[in-house]
Amino acid sequence: MISREVAWRVFAGEYNSSNYEIKGEGERAPSYIVTPLGAMINRVFLVGVLTDLDNIGTGEEPLWRARLTDPTGTFYVSSGQYQPEATATLAKIEPPAFIAVVGKTRTYSPEEGTVYVSIRPEKVTIVDAGIRDYWVLETCRSTLRRIEAMADAKEMAAPTVDELVKLGHDRLLSEGVVKACEHYKDVDLSRYRAMVIDALRYLLPEYRRDQEAEMPREMATSPEEIEEEEEAKEVDREEQVLALITALDKNGKGAPWDQIVDEVKSLGLDKTSLEEVTNALLDKGMIYEPVLGRMKRI
């Protein structure tokens, strides 16, 4: 069974420096953005200040472009009709505001060799400064672990995953660090150490008193609660898709994939999200493919 992707905590300064994408092989395989410090990111958990929010779509089909800042830079978030819950939440927020975002990585390549990264939100929640500070602290810890792993890799003539694991590093991180070493070559770790120091300094009251003087104070939602809500949402999506497959199986030979793709739009799912849900149902043994291009409930 394919496990749920880790929601990484990463600063904008590290994420925006990434230009290495690993595309999944096969329609349902996940893709990853590999950061210079070796984080292999499919999903992220972010907390920061929503500074700008614009609807570049229409009233009927909104497309929100948002900027979310942390102590190191700015995340770019894009949410439209295929992210109905996140889009509806963003539409109600008046910047500036503290928000938490659980989302998927996105890339844009206007020309060969150029990669821009952004976030497609799955869940947006208004939080308070306390949650933001906790996220900054935890992200500093995560960043330092990646710096340590990369520093160990740089000491090796040809770093390998097994060697890094023997030194006590997580296997997933070790895999990412090896890939980052191959792609980014000589990573300037002093830059990222300075980034962590700046982020920790940002937590001191004198560094942010003026900026936050007029920030709204909302009821806090913990990171654990956000993750629990997202997991419950995934269960609901699976049940909805399962019911749709059952309804479209008119002749007992399975529901045609093309019809599932068309009908699932009413549930607020795009093709990529649908593939993630059906992949989970296949892994759980709740559906199968009697023939290519059809899905049938077991």
Q: Give the model's pLDDT for residue 176.
A: 94
Residue 276, H or E segment = helix 271-283
CATH for 225-297, options being 2.115.10.20, 1.10.10.10, 1.20.1250.20, 3.40.50.300: 1.10.10.10
User: Model confidence over 236-281: pLDDT tens digits?
Assistant: 888 888 888 888 988 888 899 888 888 888 777 787 788 888 888 8
In 18-93 the beta strands, taken as DSSP E runs, fall at 20-22, 32-34, 40-41, 43-55, 64-70, 73-79
> Domains of the chain: which residue ranges?
7-218, 225-297
Cα separation, 34 vs 187, in Å, equals: 13
Kindly report, residue by residue over 79-135, the tens digit of the pLDDT: 988 888 888 999 999 888 999 999 999 888 777 667 789 999 999 999 988 899 999
Per the DSSP assignment, residues forming a β-bridge with 248 are none
Q: Report the CATH fold assignment for 7-218.
A: OB fold (Dihydrolipoamide Acetyltransferase, E2P) (2.40.50)
pLDDT digits (tens, 9 = 90+) for 57-77: 887 888 889 999 999 999 999
| 221 pLDDT more than 80 | no
The strand pair at 7-8 and 43-55 is best described as parallel
Give the pLDDT confidence of 1-48 residue by residue, as tens digits. Answer: 345 677 899 999 999 999 988 887 666 678 889 999 999 999 999 999
Q: How far is CA 188 from CA 147, 172, 195, 289, in A?
A: 10, 22, 12, 48
